[in-house]
């Protein structure tokens, strides 16, 4: 059973006439991991700052457990924020940084030291207690910032680009660490990021913002498999967008004439009422497209030429040039390349089944 903890109702923020956040509404359940994602300037950090109490909304309400908190100061909200640069006090030791919030709450010295020690142990930084932040690595500083925020045992933790300053290998490790902490503590996490790989790896639901507004809210799978707009599909990447008019098709299917030729799609609710000739946009995820030397007999199959390849771990994105100068991308496994080596200029066939694509809503 889900319990609503945070309600954001028609929230807006203006700075000197500039509308940074416009009409944002969102509910956050207790214990949920929410990621606010979007390009720079989309309003995600401003939204987080309003939840934290660092900015006052121009319009709308923020409610926690049903109580309006718009005018509450940050220290009265129990919503600690882990900053992008960690914001550790350089003149305090690691131990003193972790104790800071507890000291502000008036916790006695011995009890404060015990509680801080427990969190330092839990975060693997117990041996660093006497060091200054300047003597720590990026990953260590992040653990100190997390320990400082969590030592007060809040009901909700806010994170502003918590992984952006880390090296790639450490970023993946800390993603897993944040997921573990969230699962073990059972508290609500709200995280701002511009990286869809981070958001999709950690969050229960993702809120994608653009120009101050919410474009889509959903689970990572829902967003990846059914983008609500062209902006979302292009922002998260990994998809091919094909445009053209609706064309005649067999029963149970929809067809669209594209630069590749006629593409067949399994019956899609978004296209059910589209008359012939209506302009439409079809989305086909790159991981639903296969690459082969020979035809495979799938519903959609086009001759193409490899232009380049991008290796990311065990996944390879193959970029292709297809008829009509159409660019396609297909994601395959590195293991596939062991049995079918590819190089720029190689002729191949790109193919996908009729149920691999979906139409964007008009």
Domain presence at residue 26: yes
- CATH of residue 143's domain is 3.40.50.300
* Sequence-ordered strand ranges (E) for 149-204: 156-160, 188-193
**Residue 235 located in a structural domain:** no
The CA distance from 116 to 112, in Å, is: 6
Residue that is last in its domain, among 187, 208, 230: 230
Q: Is residue 122 part of a domain?
A: yes
Do 301 and 209 share a domain, yes or no?
A: no
Give me the pLDDT at residue 269, please: 60
Q: 143 lies in a domain? A: yes
Low-confidence ranges of the chain (pLDDT < 50): none
Residue-level pLDDT at 195? 86
Statement to judge: residues 293 and 155 lie in one domain: no
User: What integer pLDDT is reported at residue 31 of this predicted model?
Assistant: 95
Domain carrying residue 314:
240-359
In 3D space, the residue among 17, 107, 101, 8 whose CA is nearest the CA of residue 49 turns out to be 8
Q: What is the pLDDT of residue 111?
A: 92
Q: Mark whether 59 and 122 lie in a shared domain.
A: yes
Per-residue confidence (pLDDT) for residue 324, from 0 to 100? 82
Question: For 24-49, how does the pLDDT look when each residue is reduced to its tens digit (9 = 90+)?
Answer: 999 999 999 999 999 999 999 999 99
80 and 133 within one domain: yes
- pTM comes to 0.87
Residue 275 pLDDT = 84
* Residues 262 and 217 both lie in one domain: no
Other C-beta atoms lying within 10 Å of the C-beta of residue 52: 18
Q: Is 199 a domain residue? A: yes
Residue 112 lies in a domain: yes
End-to-end CA distance of the chain, in Å?
35
Q: Which of 197, 230, 263 is at the close of a domain?
A: 230
In angstroms, the CA 226 to CA 260 distance is: 22
* Segment 202-257, tens digit of pLDDT: 999 999 999 999 999 999 999 988 899 999 999 998 899 999 998 888 877 888 99
Those residues with Cβ within 8 angstroms of residue 244's Cβ, 6 or more apart along the chain or in another chain:
256, 257, 258, 259, 263, 279, 280, 282
- 144 and 247 share one domain: no
Number of domains the chain is built from: 2
φ, ψ for residue 228, nearest 5 deg: -85, -15
**Domain end call among 200, 230, 260:** 230
């Amino acid at each position: 059973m889900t319990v609503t903890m945070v309600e954001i109702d028609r929230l807006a923020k203006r700075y000197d006439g500039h509308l940074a956040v416009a009409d944002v509404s969102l509910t956050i359940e207790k214990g949920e991991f929410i990621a606010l994602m979007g390009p720079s300037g989309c309003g995600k950090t401003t939204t987080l700052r309003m939840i934290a109490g660092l900015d006052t909304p121009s319009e709308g309400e923020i409610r926690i457990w049903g109580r309006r908190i718009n005018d509450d100061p940050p220290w009265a909200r129990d919503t600690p924020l882990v900053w992008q640069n960690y914001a550790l006090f350089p003149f305090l030791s690691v131990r003193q940084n972790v104790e800071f919030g507890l000291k502000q709450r008036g916790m006695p010295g011995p009890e404060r030291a015990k509680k801080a020690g427990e969190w330092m142990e839990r975060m693997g930084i117990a041996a660093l207690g006497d060091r200054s932040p300047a003597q720590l690595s990026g990953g260590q500083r992040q653990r100190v910032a997390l320990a400082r925020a969590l030592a007060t045992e809040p009901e909700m933790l806010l994170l502003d680009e918590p992984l952006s300053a880390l090296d790639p290998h450490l970023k993946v490790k800390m993603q897993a660490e944040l997921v573990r902490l969230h699962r073990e503590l059972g508290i609500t996490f709200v995280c701002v990021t511009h990286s869809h790989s981070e958001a999709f790896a950690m969050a229960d639901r993702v809120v994608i913002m653009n120009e101050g507004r919410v474009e889509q809210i959903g689970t990572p799978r829902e967003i990846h498999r059914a983008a609500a707009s062209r902006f979302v599909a292009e922002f998260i990447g990994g998809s091919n967008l094909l445009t053209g008019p609706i064309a005649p098709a067999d029963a149970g299917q929809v067809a669209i004439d594209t630069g590749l030729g006629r593409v067949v799609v399994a019956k899609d609710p978004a296209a059910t009422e589209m008359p012939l000739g209506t302009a439409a946009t079809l989305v086909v995820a790159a991981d639903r497209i296969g690459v082969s030397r020979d035809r495979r007999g799938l519903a959609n199959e086009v001759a193409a030429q490899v232009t380049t390849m991008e290796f990311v771990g065990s996944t390879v994105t193959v970029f292709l040039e297809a008829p009509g100068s159409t660019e396609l991308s297909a994601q395959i496994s590195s293991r596939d390349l062991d049995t079918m080596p590819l190089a720029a200029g190689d002729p191949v066939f790109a193919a996908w089944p009729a149920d691999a694509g979906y139409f964007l809503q008009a």
